Each structure stands twice: as structure tokens, then as C-alpha cells.
Amino acid sequence: MTAYAELLAGPGVAHGLIGPREVPRLWERHLINCAVVVPTVPTGASVIDVGSGAGLPGLVWALLRSDLQVVLVEPLLRRAEFLRGAVQELGLTGVRVERARAEDLQGRCIAEVVTARAVAPLPRLLDLTLPLVQPGGRLLAFKGRTAGAELTAASDTLCTAETSAVLTTYGENVLDPPTTIVEVSAPPVPPPG
């Protein structure tokens, strides 16, 4: 994880992926913020990180859990190039980078767990990500103080999609404030006949 932190603090800042003011709080605000959630991801799960940016949370999860198969989805060229370089430099074999928008992957990419951090307000995020969640899978949306209001605003979308959502916090004993996640469960595959 230290090598990734160095990449973020050096090339990540140079490429505009992390602001220079974020470097002193890189561990708490970004790395640990992502790390405290990964224990909820099932063993051997497929993961799609939508709007991966600097690789948060996807690269953190891949570094901590080599059993995961992670797809980092990033539409911007300079960010995708940074991610490809980071994956290579960190020696991550279970990670691939897709230079695409989430909408471009609908119908051709699906995962047990889809995650997004600082991508869009929840109603819009659901439209982008739910088609990527396999039946019975979950969306883990990183949210901040507005999570409750966003969840309320997304109630119609959640109802239409026949999904359920809960607001959960992680790392209460480690982070202040803790990581806030909106967990959306996709319905299972209906039984045949």
C-alpha cells in the first residue's frame, strides 16, 4: 500500500488526480477510507469500480485482496493511463483498466460488486451502475454527509429497480468521520417457471 501511496502523492498529484492539499491526509481520507469497506466484499468476487479516477477504491481493494477480480472503469485518457501504469508498477494481475463510461459497459460487463466514489448523486449513480450489478449482487456507493438525503431522493429509482438500500458506516473506531456507504442490493435471479 505504501508504493501506491507514493504513486498518488507523486505522479497522482502531477496528473491532477489528487490535489496537493490531499497529500498530508492521503492515508486517512483516501486509503483507509477505502480499506475499511473491503472486508464486506465476498471472497473471490468480481468488482467494477466506476469512475475509478486515481484508483479509489478499486486499487486499494486489489492491493488488500488478491482474490478479487477488479475492473477499473475510467473514461478520461490521462486517468486511465495513470491507472494502467499503477497496475503494472504495483504488479496487480487481477486488475484491468477499461477506458469507458459506465453506460458503455452496460450489457457487456457485470460484477458481483460495483462500487463508486465521488462519481454522481445517488439517483444518477443508480442509473449508471445498477445495470452492471449481477442479480443478487451489490452496489457499494461511497457517500458523505449528504448520504441520507441522496437515499431519500433515490427512493423512486430504487422502487422501480426493485432493489433495497441501507446506509452503513465503516471504520468508526479508525476514522473520523467514518466511511459512509449506501449499500444497494440487486434482486436475485427469479426462479425458473
Is the pLDDT assigned to residue 185 strictly greater than 80? yes
Burial of 139 (0-12, 13-18, 19+ CB in 10 A): buried
List pLDDT tens digits, range 72-119: 999 999 999 999 999 999 999 999 999 999 999 998 999 999 999 989
| Rounded Cα–Cα distance for residues 132 and 12 (Å) | 27
The C-alpha R_g of the chain, in whole angstroms, comes to 16
pLDDT score at 162: 84
Task: Map residue 82 onto helix, strand or coil.
Answer: helix
What single-letter amino acid sits at 150?
E
Which CATH class, in words, describes the domain spanning 2-185? alpha beta
pTM for the predicted model, two decimal places? 0.95
pLDDT score at 161: 83
- Asked whether 96 and 38 are in contact (CB, 8 A), the reply is no
Average pLDDT, the chain: 94
pLDDT score at 191: 55
Separation in Å, CA 135 to CA 67, 125, 189:
21, 18, 5
